[in-house]
Chain A
Amino acid sequence: MLHMWEMPEPRQLAERNNTIPVILQAMARPMLAGLACGLAGLYAAFVGILVLMHGRVIIVDVLTLGQCVLLLLGLAAGAKSRTATATRAILPDLARGAVAGSVYGAALACGLALFQIAFLRTVLVSLSPELRRMLSFGLESGPAMVTLVVAGGALGVAGSLWSRLGGEQRRATLTAATAVIVAGTLQQLLQTVLQRFSFTKAIGDLLFSWAGLKWQGALLVGAVAAVVGSLWPIAKREFGARQPTLHALLSDNRSAFQLALLLLGLSVLPALAGPYIGQVLLMVALYTLMGMGLNIEVGLAGLLDLGFVAFFAVGAYATALLTADSSVALSAYTSIPALSFWLAVPIAVALSVIVGVLFGLPVLGVRGDYLAVATLGLGEIVRVIVLSDFAAPILNGAQGILQVPRPFVGSVELSSPVSLFYLTLVCSMFAAFVAWRLQASRLGRAWMALRDDEEVAQALGVNLVKAKLLAYGLGAAFAGLAGAIFATMLTSVYPNSFNLLLSINVLALIVIGGIGSIEGVIVGAILLVGLPELLREFGEYRFLFYGAALIAIMIMRPRGLWSTSRPSGAMPGGLR
């Protein structure tokens, strides 16, 4: 839409022969850029997220996350003030930057002015004294508004100067800024890791004080990131020249090495970072395991399943009923002895597979969107049955089943999140291996054919019933395994844990990661399960981030973050 406001051609300018409209036209783009950034800032302020971010210190006594956002918006206004067709002369550039920045500052100043209207506070609860303090630098309203406009202008100039830099310098500064912000935001995580070992403690003390980065630390982090960021391509080129064979090997198997690095990181991190991170990663691994299962159904066989949570519930309840040390467990009123976790898991998985196949039977002939709705219903049925009076004598209704024991290895109880994480990691790696082998197999090809064109697949000899039921069964197996771990992790199961949102989360993570991609499942789980946990202090707002991130990813990477090399969009070949 902005192109309507681009700088007019010089010839057009001459024709108009009237300076004021010409200047206005030339400044339309910067003003729009400033206004857009200003509105973004005001939105963040009125939603309340800005104050919240203001509470997170990035650099002690210098900068908070909230201020970071305001600064970056100002810089962005300046950087975006020039159209692609405009001249690159420095003075017009600076003028445009200044205008964009001032408009941005003015927008914030307008926000500040709203504080004068007393009754607004009752409507916009976020117009808090903290927000006022933050926007006004502790000044009176008048001077504060002037300061905002002037500071905005300065930021805009800085932004436009930045946009004049060469590509490498821009990348280096961007890397440095990102590194500082990430280090500051995740300072708790980094500090706990660094404080655990004596040799890293010194680094930690150098970079961080208890509240955030020290300014020296920020400089150091930024500098290191910039240097590494700008040396990386050079180092890669050097390496390619000196070790051509090794370099070729690495770049040919790039995704395999990236995956290996990712796994290595995942397996070492919790041991270093302690129980909290262990718990977060346990959830990531659990969702990865479920994602692997759903990916077989959705990614390979193209069966859009929104009732996936049912299999997870079956695995969890089966484990709980077989192992629990309580009056509702099977051992309490039948002759079945209370089993250990390891004996219960195969039974739980087998039961999940059976439920998966039973689940698939009624929807064999249902396709696409209709399948999604049908499976949604089936998933709800399972939850309602668990809650019902009918099943209450066995499943204990809403009270759930308590005192599910933890697994033992020898005499060691796997009770800590970190040890459960490793158990889950092994399971999800196994699931990933199975999925990987299946992809290249005859069955995998049959699934993909089914996904692309059911009728032709059938005409080529694919047994539709068998292939579909196998997909449901295998997907359910992984979900059941995840459910078993879930039950022992919480040491209890409640019907409320198994709602629709879980199915949707698992589906979202495989879409974000890239449908059909095994690595994508891991990346999606980290992003959708891990990050929200780390951002927990932002409370409900993290779902705002979550939603915004989902939309942004789907716009920028419609095939997912780590998509397979296959195109997944509509192809011209699909003549139907």
Chain B
Amino acid sequence: MSEKEIDSVTNVETTGHEWDGIKELNNPLPRWWVYVFYATIVFSIGYAVYYPAIPLIEGATQGISGETTRGQLHEEMAAVEAGRADMLEQIRGMEVGEIPANPELARFASAGGASAFKVYCSQCHGSGAQGAAGYPNLNDDDWLWGGSIEQIAATIRHGVRYEADGDTRWSEMPAFGRDQLLQREEILAVAHYVRSLSGLEHDRGAMDEGARVYAENCAACHGEDGLGNTDLGAPNLADALWLYGDSQQEIVSQINNPKHGVMPAWGERLGDAVVKQLAVYVHGLGGGE
């Protein structure tokens, strides 16, 4: 375009572009806009030099700052770890039973335990520690291996029936039916007897036979009154809570061919401090003794 065209109405130069008879005026951009535009260009050069910016075939330019989001994450996590270090050191240095007496430490341990519980324990025990059939509810006051904070810590540390750990908690109830240690009638009778211990509906006619079978085969572990034994992991048969169900059929099945839960030993994997924190959390759920 050789000649500049001036619009007659506004006295403003046109761009020379024309669409269906409509011409565009060549008004200048507002100065502030232009300056901001230049400023962004200057900024972007600085940015590209300072930070990782330009993608290459493999990787990208690193920038003179050496900063990466991954590095930032590492720094932030290191800061978090450093903030916790003092508390964790205190927890390592004391017996687990002493922790609840220190309110600040107890709060810290309980929060850490809750978070670790969600990661490592909730798969079996549930996110609220409410358990499921075969997986104990940790909120209640019925403990197979003891509900004191020390006992809970020991269970977490060494697991239950976990062969890889030499100190694991171990007990196995004989399979009275499968191995033919008891007759079918004896099993039915002792199941009625066991139900009677916790006040459930039962056949009164089977009581004598049931009591005899119980005294000869069961009382050694579960106790004469059926109160169980936490040293052996023998459940309390006289209470209202049944890990594998309280129906006649479920009890018969358990005597016949018992199921045994297994829990991994967490001591080595999580370390002393986390195990103690978990113990404080579980103990504080409401059932701790």
Q: Do A and B come from one complex?
A: no
User: Which residues from chain A sit less than 8 Å from chain B, CB to CB?
Assistant: none
